[in-house]
Amino acid sequence: MTGSSDTSAIMLQTRDLTKRFGGVVAVDGVNFLLHEGEVHSLIGPNGAGKTTFFKLLTGLKPSAGEIIYRGRSIAGLMPHEIARQGIGIKKQVPSVFDGLTVEESLMVAALRVRSRRTATAEVAATIDRLKLGEIAGKQVGILAHGQRQWVEIGMVLAQGCELILLDEPAAGMTSEEVARTVELIGDINRDRTIIVVEHDMKFIRMISHRVTVFHQGRILAAGTPDDVLSDHRVKDIYIGNSAA
C-alpha cells in the first residue's frame, strides 16, 4: 500500500477540533484528514499545538469539536479504550521505566490492551520485527538514546495498534540512529498507518506521504512534502521563528 493516494479510505478525521487551556487556545478549529496507509507528518514551530493535538487523539477531552476514527467518535474516551480501538502513541516525553528490561517493557505495554497469551506473541513478534533480540534482556536504563526510542516505538507496536502516533521519534538522535528510524518507519508502514511529529525537515521528506503544518493551533497548509515545504507561508513561519 502506498498510502499516498487520495482515493484510499479516510481513517481519521477531526472536525473543528479545539482545546483551550485557560486563555491559551492550543488547538483551534482543526479539520484534519488522514487516509488509511499513510505516513503523515505534522510540522510547525514550538508551541504550534502538535503535541496537544496528539493528546486529543489519545483521550484528552476537547473543548469543542469531533474526532472520528473509522466511523466512530472517539473524543474524550479513556486512553486504554482508545488503545483498544487501535490507536497507540509514543509520547514526546519518555514513558519507559529504567528498571525494566526491554522485553518486560514491551510486555507491560501489551498487557494494557491484550490477554497474556496474545501479549506474549505480540512481544515476540515485535522484538523480531524491530531487531531488538540482542538487547531484549537488558535494562532500559543502560540503553543508548536511540535504542530507548525504538523500545518506546516497540511498546506501541506490541499493543497491535493500526494507527501509530510518534511525537518527535528522531529528536536527539545521531545521524545513524535517524537513518535506522527512517528504515523502521518504512517497515512499520507496510501494515500500519503512522502520524509523525518532527522538526527535522530532511527526515520529514524521507518518510512522509503527506504533511500538515500547524501554526498557532491552526492548520496553515497540508499536502505533499514537496508542495508544503516549498510553500512560502510555511517558509515564513520558520524564518519568523528562528529570527525570534
Ligand X SMILES: Nc1ncnc2c1ncn2[C@@H]1O[C@H](COP(=O)(O)OP(=O)(O)OP(=O)(O)O)[C@@H](O)[C@H]1O
Contact partner at residue 239 from ligand X, Mg ion, none, CB < 5 to 8 Å by partner kind: none
Distances from the Cα of 218 to the Cαs of 77, 197, 215, in angstroms? 23, 15, 5
Least separation in angstroms between CB 104 and Mg ion = 28
**x-marked contacts with ligand X along 73-102 as a string, rule CB under 6 A:** -------------------x----------
Any idea which residue has 516497540 for its cell? Answer: 154
In DSSP terms, 72 is beta-bridged to 69
User: Mask 77-116, x = binds Mg ion (CB under 5 A)?
Assistant: ---------------x------------------------
Residue type for position 127: I
Q: Which of 14, 41, 51, 105 binds Mg ion (CB under 5 A)?
A: 51
For Mg ion, which stretch binds (CB under 5 A), given 14-22, 44-52, 123-131, 149-157?
Answer: 44-52
| Alpha helices, DSSP H, located in the chain | 50-57, 79-85, 102-111, 116-129, 145-157, 175-188, 201-207, 225-229, 232-243
- Segment interacting with ligand X (CB under 6 A) among 43-51, 107-115, 205-213, 236-244: 43-51
| Rounded Cα–Cα distance for residues 10 and 33 (Å) | 7
**Lookup: cell for 211:** 504533511
The contact set with Mg ion (CB under 5 A) reads 51, 92
